[in-house]
A and B are shown apart, each in its own frame.
Chain A
């Protein structure tokens, strides 16, 4: 199945020097073949990208390598020796580290505490020796350009810093092989550049990296080789230099993919959302949103661009009622909703695609059916006098799965068993099918494959056609540029720039995102 090319070895990786080889790895879950005789190898010093649709089995095969799942078939070789990896600790002992799609840090702990967690260094008297750990951490952090503040609590750290902490944790534990599962999904463009620089310095230092991503540009930019996984199988392994985005997309989805949807011109209706002088604080009580005003009209997509941590999260939470505002008003169709609770706001027609899908969006140990119910549980459609109408609900869940192509063996499996992208699709399905008047979409396509992104973008544009107001909060400038009718750049809780989607200049926006300009305020 594998088409190893005959090209001479490239800079990053020596074809003769295989660090990890997976042969015929299979993994089954109830009703799902997640990996079907997967063959992959990783050369020393190379960056090997894994590309594939949501639910293709990328995370699973890497979890097998990391010792989280025992394979149902196949052989793993590390440095030429066949091994059985029974736990992440065993994987780490073999020098294999992994940074998951959803971080596994403990929010209340500081970064250094998280890094040593499970492998705490002790003093001679058995007490926790954070001093030594911190020293080692700082050294690693300087060596690989992974800037973190060791004493900051994870919950106060930016997503980028959390990620660097995860990488540092793997390095601290001596990883020689690093698995990065969608490391860029939550990063701002600048942070992605930093990450790539780090990754290069790591491979220069002799590390080898498996890199899972949905972004074709990233594959082209960073990887030495790329394997396309489809329906649990490796379809083909390419030398990156010899392939193109289009070819990869085609191999991955099995059809042509439109990488950028076209939006039609149309007129904007009455204002649906009016935000007036809105202020809010973050969880530490510092100003996060600083008296901003804007409107979103019916059938309009307003994009909020900006680097993570400039008030986006608070904006999302405040408009939806998850957090109290400290000043100003929020009007929905002329009615002041800023004192209503979440339920009433949902009833008034606000929908939310939260940026933190596992925390805010889903109850992971509920099945898909009940996750579709979330936010609808009091509505007459589902809630009959004698209880919830589960048979109707099950039908609805089935339709949602069908319509959004959510890959699952049944609607009655726990949401936690869905692949990352499919969890996202489940939230999208629920919120879009509810028929909102205003949709707050924060990072709506985070973790989706190119085909699914195309689908979701079309869905959003269709909502726009139907007069839904959409507030699109995204760290992905491309996404904002391709969808938004108007773009607001959020910088330090204020609107640093407002431009119409048609005459948006990438450089100007980029500058405003980093505080470079203040044409509008």
Chain B
């Protein structure tokens, strides 16, 4: 029976799925750029000059590309943090606080210990992740036990983290000789190697690029593997897609929720720690340029795919960097960059609009199902 039925893994299905997954975010970015151009024209700016400047300052020249990549590194981590929780159906909007807390304690410890580099770096990276995770623990436990919504609790913890770290930097850690709120220098044994030291044959001159770039890529690949190839990742995704079926499939739903938020927090903590060990070498008050929040956008654009987070982070890294260029080259206010990211978020979130340009897809059934499920407390994000 069923003669026409093929049961071999078919490349066609996978390729189609991948193509579809990529087309949508790319399409959103393109449309956002077009809308940005229209806005520029409307306000009497020259979009060609504007985008030309943006591109030039984002990518052309070693200096510019270095800045773009350095901007992207923390975004890869925070993007992963948000994406991971998303895959479990959780909206961790408190990555910023987890990032600050994680890096503060890693940095603090870094000012105290004196160990060889081979130990110092791993110890501090672990400290940062553990503290970040700890900052997400309470929201996780509350969600799992009482159903308290993580959007509220992670945000509250985020503010607590922000003020706590700020207080500690100003009152406890502050280097008395410093004029700005910053800690003592972290031990040099904790500095992430710069790439000219690792690949002397590639870099003629010293560079600010550090091995954090590779850590970010490696962590993205690891998270991808964890999510798609392991039983833990499977459970997390099952809870995210259909917690009722997951439960009946022996998944310990509460545990998955807590674990996902812990991993998410750890990734956020890592974002700040790598930033500090790689670039600042001190803990500054509020050194994060909103990486935790931009991470939400990055994750959205990446459609919560851990590998998609890398190009998405690069895009936002380039936008912040190139935005300044646009201002210089064409006098276009840097705020246009915020408009662009706003439009991108809107388009990615409003999937239906981009897909088939208003042609209704027969996803109604799935949508009704999702709606029915999310009318519980599964933190679905529209």
Rounded to whole angstroms, the CA-CA distance of A388 and B7 in the bound complex is: 20
Q: How many residues of A contact B (CB 8 A)?
A: 60
Does A104 lie within 8 Å of B242, measured CB to CB? no
Taking Cβ atoms with an 8 Å cutoff, the residues of B that contact A are 1-2, 4-10, 12-14, 16, 225, 229-231, 234-235, 237-238, 241-242, 244-252, 360, 362, 364-366, 368-369, 371-372, 375-376
Pick from A365, A388, A411: contact of B229, CB below 8 A: A388
Known: A106-B371, A358-B369, A388-B229. Is A87-B360 also a contact (CB below 8 A)? yes
Closest-by-CB residue of B relative to A100 is B365
- Give chain A residues whose Cβ lies under 8 Å from the Cβ of B376: 108
Does A342 lie within 8 Å of B250, measured CB to CB? yes
- Give chain A residues whose Cβ lies under 8 Å from the Cβ of B362: 63, 68-69
Pick from B8, B13, B250: contact of A346, CB below 8 A: B250
A229 contacts the other chain (Cβ, under 8 Å)? no
- Give chain A residues whose Cβ lies under 8 Å from the Cβ of B10: 31, 409-410, 412
Known: A106-B375, A375-B250, A411-B9. Is A387-B225 also a contact (CB below 8 A)? yes
- Give chain B residues whose Cβ lies under 8 Å from the Cβ of A362: 242, 245
Rounded to whole angstroms, the CA-CA distance of A417 and B8 in the bound complex is: 17
Q: Within the complex, what minimum Cβ distance (angstroms) separates A518 from chain B?
A: 33
Instruction: Identify which of residues 317-376 in chain A touch chain B, using a CB-to-CB cut-off of 8 Å.
Output: 320, 322, 341-343, 346, 352, 354, 358-366, 370, 373-375
Known: A107-B372, A412-B14. Is A360-B234 also a contact (CB below 8 A)? no
Majority DSSP secondary structure for residues of A touching B: loop
Closest-by-CB residue of B relative to A360 is B248
A390 contacts the other chain (Cβ, under 8 Å)? yes
Q: Within the complex, what minimum Cβ distance (angstroms) separates A230 from chain B?
A: 11
Does B366 lie within 8 Å of A409, measured CB to CB? no
Pick from A102, A352, A370, A405: contact of B365, CB below 8 A: A102
Majority DSSP secondary structure for residues of B touching A: helix
- Give chain B residues whose Cβ lies under 8 Å from the Cβ of A398: 7-8
Q: Within the complex, what minimum Cβ distance (angstroms) separates B29 from chain A?
A: 24
Does A387 lie within 8 Å of B230, measured CB to CB? yes
**Residue contacts A-B, CB under 8 angstroms, 19 given:** A31-B10, A68-B364, A68-B365, A88-B364, A104-B372, A106-B371, A354-B248, A363-B241, A363-B245, A363-B246, A364-B366, A366-B238, A377-B250, A398-B8, A401-B5, A405-B1, A408-B7, A409-B5, A410-B13
Q: Within the complex, what minimum Cβ distance (angstroms) separates A22 from chain B?
A: 17
Rounded to whole angstroms, the CA-CA distance of A362 and B234 in the bound complex is: 14
Does A104 lie within 8 Å of B13, measured CB to CB? no
Q: Within the complex, what minimum Cβ distance (angstroms) separates A332 from chain B?
A: 15
Pick from B16, B230, B237, B248: contact of A322, CB below 8 A: B248
Pick from A320, A377, A407: contact of B248, CB below 8 A: A320
Does A361 lie within 8 Å of B231, measured CB to CB? no
Pick from A108, A365, A378: contact of B241, CB below 8 A: A365
Does A366 lie within 8 Å of B375, measured CB to CB? no
Rounded to whole angstroms, the CA-CA distance of A405 and B5 in the bound complex is: 9
A23 contacts the other chain (Cβ, under 8 Å)? no
- Give chain B residues whose Cβ lies under 8 Å from the Cβ of A409: 5-6, 10, 13
Known: A363-B245, A407-B2. Is A387-B9 also a contact (CB below 8 A)? no
Does A387 lie within 8 Å of B241, measured CB to CB? no
- Give chain A residues whose Cβ lies under 8 Å from the Cβ of B360: 86-87
